[in-house]
């Protein structure tokens, strides 16, 4: 009787541990699956921005005074082609944004056409900017020049 009780207690513990393990792996799995699916179809511009741009341009796009120019309300964005080129090729030297001169280096971003389109769409439709969406074919056209 006592042993049977112990056994079923052990079985319960095992069940608990197994189901916890299961939950944990389910919790771990979605981000990978989700980003995998996202990358295959439409990458999230916000995620890309956080990953590829926010370290220099800051989460809200305000940049860093005298070091990295802002993307928030940036007049530079008015020229879509120049903006796409900036992301693909990066730049070095003087650049004027909202009347302020910056002189630094932005490395070319290793992003494919869909990713550049997604991240720029995010920038153009957030941070106080009012541009529209950027499409992958627009990026491809600029890249081909
Ligand atoms: C390593 C830091 C760094 C990263 C990462 C970076 N930038 Fe930049 N970015 C800069 C700097 C510095 C300049 C100005 C370069 C110069 O002086 O020629 C700049 C300029 C720009 C400009 C033109 C000026 C303006 O502020 O409007 C745009 C647009 C831009 N970056 C977008 C992006 C986007 C989008 C990403 C992410 C895909 C990104 N940058 C990633 C540092 C960075």
- pLDDT of res. 84: 98
Q: Which residues line ligand 1 (CB under 6 A)?
A: 52-53, 55-57, 68-71, 74, 76-77, 83, 86-87, 91-93, 95, 97, 102-107, 109, 119, 123
d(CA 140, CA 101): 29
Confidence band of 13 (pLDDT split at 50, 70, 90): very low
d(CA 112, CA 135): 12
Q: Which of 64, 65, 81, 62 is nearest to 129 (CA)?
A: 62
d(CA 116, CA 17): 44
If you measure from the C-alpha of residue 57 to the centroid of ligand 1, how many angstroms do you get, rounded to a whole number? Answer: 7
- pLDDT of res. 42: 67
- pLDDT of res. 43: 79
From the alpha carbon of 55, which atom of ligand 1 is closest?
5
From the alpha carbon of 91, which atom of ligand 1 is closest?
18
Residue 87 predicted with pLDDT over 90: yes
What the block records as the tokens of 128 is 């106080």
């Amino acid at each position: 009787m006592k042993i049977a009780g112990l056994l079923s207690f052990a079985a319960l513990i095992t069940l608990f541990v197994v189901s916890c393990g299961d939950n944990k792996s389910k919790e771990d799995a979605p981000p990978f699956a989700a980003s995998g699916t996202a990358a295959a179809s439409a990458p999230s511009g916000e995620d890309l921005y956080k990953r590829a741009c926010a370290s220099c341009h800051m989460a809200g796009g305000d940049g860093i005074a005298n070091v990295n120019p802002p993307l928030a309300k940036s007049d530079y964005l008015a020229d879509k082609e120049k903006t796409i080129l900036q992301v693909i090729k990066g730049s070095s030297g003087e650049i004027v944004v909202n009347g302020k001169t910056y002189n630094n280096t932005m490395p070319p971003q290793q992003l494919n056409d869909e990713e550049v389109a997604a991240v720029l769409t995010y920038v153009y439709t957030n941070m106080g900017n009012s541009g529209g969406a950027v499409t992958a074919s627009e990026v491809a056209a600029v890249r081909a020049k």
